[in-house]
Chains A and B, each alone.
Chain A
Amino acid sequence: MRDERLKTLLKGGAIWGFILLELVFFEVAGRIWSLSGNAFVDLDNMLLLLKQAAPIGIIAVGMTVVMINGNIDLSVGATYALAGIVMLDSMSWPFMEALGAGAIPLAWGFALLTGALLGLINGLIVWKTGVDAFIVTLGAMLGFRGLVFMYNGEQPTYHLDWTMVDIAEAEILGLQTPALVFLAVVLGVWLLMTRTVHGRNAYAIGDNRDAAVNAGLRVGPHILINFVLIGVLAALSAVAFYSGSGSVNPNDGMLFELWAITAVVLGGTKLTGGRGSIIGTLGGVLAIQLLRMGLGHIGAQTETVNLVIGTILIAVLFLDRQLNRKGAEELKI
């Protein structure tokens, strides 16, 4: 029993141990190699870290829920871009311009609505057709990207509104808006997954869908809600990012799905469903962003980041398997 507990702690804490290791390594290595001679572990750096981690981080939180549910969503990058475009474009609609600053919350609302709608489409297809979520969202990744291009051709969509930029760059306790949104999302979804019936059902359905059906859970609507949730979160990520930048390129958000999945898996969530945690994902997101920042700090080529993250992902998978020899078989998609 105690052994089990120790093991859980070890596995849950592994990502935080890794983050600590990164901090120590980059601090020490930075002193030896860094040209600037600045400390790596200082407050400003860490606050910046949270802000930079926010776009992928918000999406990764949603991905965790969907993956605990035993599904996956590959279309989030395109959802992110489309929500951003709708938000910025809506600001220049005639009736919106007449509203002045009052248009801003409405524009955010349109973006979130876009995300919810795209999530709803995915969720309905998964529920009603029974096609695997991997295939449904793979198709949607292409389809939503097509919608992004159809909206404004290959042109970027601009709209710079200084009030909106001010809101995006506002600070509370040194944290800028995107970082605050990220932390709020982590807290909110963590509560959802640990304190509500919906969260408990998510684990149950991911663990054994047939058993959940037999226990009388309405699996279809549950899955639908989670796809809407990740759609809204992808849109929220776009709101947090594009409010400040004011320009969306039609190729934005490409590969976001893969980065988000990487963070989620590093955080200990299983592809098989039924297991994982929001806090672990927070760790995974921070670990990746620390790595990016740290390699830049010690003057390594930024190109090596991808190499290192890929290697770590495979190493984590291997170690995890060694630790869980007797555990459930890995899922086959």
Chain B
Amino acid sequence: MADTALKSTAMKSVGGLLARQGILVAFVVFMVGFALWNPRFIDIDNVFGVIRSSAILGVMALGVTFVVIGGNLDLSVGSMLSFSAIVVLDLHENPAFGPALAIPAMYAMTLALGALNGFLIGYLRLNSLIVTLGMLSAIHGLTLTYSGGQNMDIANQSETWFGVFGRGSALGIPVPVLIFAGLAALLGMILAKTPFGRKVYAVGGNGTAATFSGIPRARVVFATYLISAFCVATAGLIQASRTMGAQNTVGQGLELEVLAAVILGGASLLGGSGTIFKTVIGVLILGFIQNGLLLAGLEFYVQFVVTWIIIILAVWLDIATKRGKLWSPIA
């Protein structure tokens, strides 16, 4: 009797662990499985390689996590990335700017776009899906108008230090990895440990209640879009620096992949839940799956199908544990 009770408590705590950290458990199982199958998978160079190639997506996902926890969406990050990469490359080539001025100028312009998002969604309270859908289109048009439809390239690549953000490494660690890790730590702290972070959760969890308890909802939402734009600018910098050139469509389609990583990490689209740590796990899962499939000799596009299945399973299991039933109650 006692034995069964013990067993059921154990089962419950395992179930609870799975419910709370399911994605982390899945990640560990996946990593161990793959490492047993092919030791090269956890080779330090391979690991850094994966994180480095996930860094652009990852940095964007950090910002989008704030927006999603705040109860909104940001579909404009993909075209915003194209914009920031094109702008920073163009200004880099402009003798009046040079790399040292191009970077802050690009940050300012990208943040202005984020502020526009934040104003429309935070202060005017327009629907974030449609506003950022409109911004996706508008920013794409802005980028094309700015560049005249041309690709941007750095002419003299050997004479600039601009490549450091995408190609450099410090202490044997690639700089994009350092940027991703540093920003994740900083934003994770802000979200988890500061009053501002708690306000983001409150606004996303129940906006009306947050307003009644004196939280400036508009200002908080506005700030989440600024953070998102800041992350996009950083990702754009890494992108531009790594390739020293960019097409107008470099970020196309990334908005939905970023969102997929955030959702995979367990943030709810209803707002109010999710963490930076989980988003990082979501990003890494996508990156390591891609890598694992490549090592297994499969083409890159197989990962799309695997990602599809994983996202739906992850979200399904999440809501199934919450409602206590596997199948939906819809008739």
Interface of A toward B, CB cutoff 8 Å? 74, 125, 127-132, 134-136, 138-147, 149-150, 153, 213, 217-220, 223, 254-255, 258, 261-262, 265, 271, 301, 303-314, 317-318, 321, 330-333
Tell me if B253 is interfacial: C-beta within 8 Å of chain A: yes
Q: Is B129 an interface residue (CB 8 A)?
A: yes
Contact of A135 with B269 at beta-carbon distance under 8 Å, contacts A146-B301, A311-B138, A333-B73 already known: yes
A109 CB to closest chain B CB (Å) equals 25
Partner of B145, one of A136, A254, A271, A301: A301
Known: A146-B305, A333-B129. A141 touches B256 (CB 8 A): yes
Residues of B within 8 Å of A262, CB to CB, are: 133-134, 137
Instruction: Pick from B5-13, B40-48, B307-315 the stretch touching chain A.
Output: B307-315
Interface contact B133-A313, CB-CB below 8 Å: yes
Q: Complex Cα distance A267/B289, Å?
A: 41
How many B residues, CB 8 Å from partner?
57
Task: Tell me, in angstroms, the Cα distance from A233 to B148 when the chains sit together.
Answer: 36
Given A135-B312, A304-B145, A307-B141, decide whether A127 and B330 contact each other with a Cβ distance below 8 A. yes
Cβ contact of A146, chosen from B139, B271, B303, cutoff 8 A: B303
Chain B positions within 8 Å of A150 at CB level: 299, 301-302, 305
Complex-state Cα separation, A197 to B328, whole angstroms: 25
A223 to B133, CA, bound (A): 25
Cβ–Cβ contact B305 & A138, under 8 A: no
Across the interface, do A145 and B134 meet the contact criterion of CB distance under 8 Å? no
Instruction: Work out how many contacts link A and B, with CB atoms closer than 8 A.
Output: 176
* CA A241 to CA B202, docked complex, whole Å: 48
Give residues of chain B (109-141) contacting chain A, Cβ–Cβ below 8 Å: 120, 124-127, 129-131, 133-141
* Given known A-B contacts A127-B328, A143-B309, A213-B330, A310 and B141 have beta carbons under 8 A apart: yes
Instruction: Establish whether residues B327 and A258, one from each chain, have CB atoms under 8 Å apart when the complex forms.
Output: no
Shortest Cβ distance from B127 into A: residue: A330
Report Cα–Cα, A146/B304, bound state, in Å. 5
Interface residues of B (CB under 8 A from A): 71, 73, 75, 120, 124-127, 129-131, 133-142, 144-145, 148-149, 252-253, 256-257, 259-260, 263, 269-271, 299, 301-309, 311-312, 315-316, 319-320, 323, 327-331
A residues less than 8 Å from B329 (CB atoms): 130
Asked if A130 meets B124 with Cβ closer than 8 Å, knowing A74-B256, A262-B137, the reply is: no
Q: Are A130 and B330 in contact (CB under 8 A)?
A: yes
**Known contacts A138-B260, A139-B311, A149-B301; A220/B141 CB under 8 A:** no
Give chain A residues whose Cβ lies under 8 Å from the Cβ of B126. 314, 317-318, 321, 330
Which A-chain residue is minimally distant from B255 (CB atoms)? A258
Which chain B positions have C-beta within 8 A of A330?
125-127
Return the 10 tightest CB-CB contacts between A and B, nearest first: A143-B308, A310-B138, A146-B304, A130-B328, A307-B141, A306-B141, A149-B301, A303-B144, A310-B137, A313-B134
Residue of B nearest to A305 (CB): B141
In the complex, the answer to whether A317 meets B134 with C-beta atoms within 8 Å is yes
Is A271 touching B260 in the complex (CB atoms < 8 A)? no
Q: List 20 A-B contacts (CB under 8 A).
A: A127-B330, A128-B327, A129-B319, A132-B315, A134-B269, A142-B260, A142-B307, A146-B304, A146-B305, A146-B308, A149-B301, A254-B253, A305-B141, A307-B145, A308-B141, A309-B137, A311-B134, A314-B131, A321-B126, A333-B129
Contact A143 B307 (CB under 8 A): yes
Q: A314 and B134 in contact (CB under 8 A), knowing A138-B260, A141-B256? A: yes
Contacts of A254 in B (CB 8 A): 252-253
Q: When the two chains form their complex, are residues B127 and A317 in contact, meaning their CB atoms are under 8 A apart?
A: yes
Q: In chain A, what residue has the closest Cβ to B307?
A: A142
Please indicate which of the listed interface residues A131, A261, A312 has the most CB atoms of chain B within 10 Å of its own CB: A131
